[in-house]
A = this chain, B = another copy of it.
């Protein structure tokens, strides 16, 4: 919505935030109160100066774009956040909630009662309501549902029925459709009656009486074509369509590949259901890449930087417990070689090198395979070739890197045999890392699962446990 922002340059945003914080500070609502509940702040209101400050802050907030208010809310500690949230005009609540990250959104929804929520949500389009729905209490959804006109109620039902990772979840219903047998003159008059086109309308959809999609009329073509022309003569009949059940990921790839601004969503019978626009795709790409980064670090969900400590503990502990378990298993395997280690203590210091490097190398393989799978570059008939390539690469790196590691082992122990065991263990464990790094995502992918999820725990488990076993086993065989 560029039209609502005043000639914005990028630094302005930081300035908006600073101004809001300054206003908060001036009215002495902020005195670095670590965990003071916000209610106290608000009780202290009353003086005329205080009211004037609040009014100034409110005025400032009214001028800020909803997405920027969302940014400011996320950058504020909980107490200041609630103060600002109270000052925002109620009719903007819905738009702002949409822009917020999940945990911050939840923290604000928790402070609102049903009536406020219903009022906030009712200002939104049905596809936007569907987006908020998972975070809303059931009775709010029921109320909103009842208040909607029949057509929109159907839309909301449809939008809520698609899984989060389907094209249907990205779809909106703001389609402008026209008939094939009218002139552009008629189309133009029709558009003028609408007074405003939905955002991201780069094309009109041409449908017949049964809502079957016949073609698309790009706006750019409409404005350069003579108005006497019939829609059917100028419409494009070659264009990208999506099904609501397509994977959102695949839909996003189509947008990237063909540089789309919008795409029609049709059902199996070819009936126009809605459209996907590039802004929804951009949000999806961003959210997906963030979710991947978080899950790779073992975080169950995004964290509000100002969330209470216990929420952080709950978010992070499960992954750490899992790692504690796998690390203990590896330690247990190593402890079976207590006799060997007690005779050659230096083995104890070298074994984590063998495990660690193979883990790193396997992680490189895994990252590339997951990426190639996502891009569709891996087919059944090139898997063997790839496996051979990855194993050769790992072996070469192991042969060279193992020499260095073996040299280090020799220098630290003075035993040539130990250097040789180190070298052999490095090569073998790098092969383990490459195999696991390749096979785990491939097998998960074949089974129709997300190849990225959980792969890294399995990889570390394998390179640690098997690495210890190989290294200490070889030492037991050859050095005792």
Contact = CB atoms under 8 A, between A and B. Distances in A.
Contacts of A220: 196-197, 201, 219
A239 B345 CA distance: 69
Interface in A373-394: 375-379, 382, 385-386, 389, 392-393
Contacts of A294: 367, 371
Interface in A28-71: 32, 34, 65, 67-68, 71
Interface stretch (A106-114, A115-123, A275-283): A275-283
Contacts of A321: 401, 404
A453 interface: no
Copies of chain A in the complex = 2
B239 A7 contact: yes
- The DSSP consensus for interface residues of chain A is helix
A359 to B, nearest CB: 9
Given A305-B372, A377-B305, A239 B334 contact: no
Contacts of A296: 296, 367
A181 interface: no
B350 A200 contact: no
Contacts of A162: none
Contact of A357 (B75, B224, B320, B386): B320
A3 B238 contact: yes
Given A282-B282, A404-B324, A393 B313 contact: yes
Interface string A286-319: 1001101110111100010110011011001101
A323 B426 CA distance: 13
A412 B305 CA distance: 39
Most buried by B among A223, A255, A297, A397: A297
Interface stretch (A86-94, A135-143, A243-251): A243-251
Contacts of A32: 385
Interface in A353-371: 353, 355-357, 360-361, 363-364, 366-368, 371
Given A67-B258, A202-B261, A352-B464, 8 more contacts: A2-B236, A7-B238, A9-B241, A192-B223, A293-B367, A299-B368, A309-B393, A323-B356
Interface of A: 1-10, 13-14, 17, 32, 34, 65, 67-68, 71, 74-75, 77, 99, 188, 191-192, 194-197, 199-203, 216, 218-220, 222-226, 236-243, 246, 250-251, 254-261, 263, 278-279, 281-283, 285-286, 289-290, 292-294, 296-299, 303, 305-306, 309-310, 312-313, 316-317, 319-321, 323-324, 327-328, 330-332, 334-335, 338, 341-342, 345-353, 355-357, 360-361, 363-364, 366-368, 371-372, 375-379, 382, 385-386, 389, 392-393, 396-397, 400-401, 404-405, 408, 412, 464
Q: Which 9 A-B pairs have the closest CB atoms?
A: A348-B348, A259-B279, A297-B367, A197-B220, A289-B289, A67-B257, A2-B239, A331-B349, A335-B349
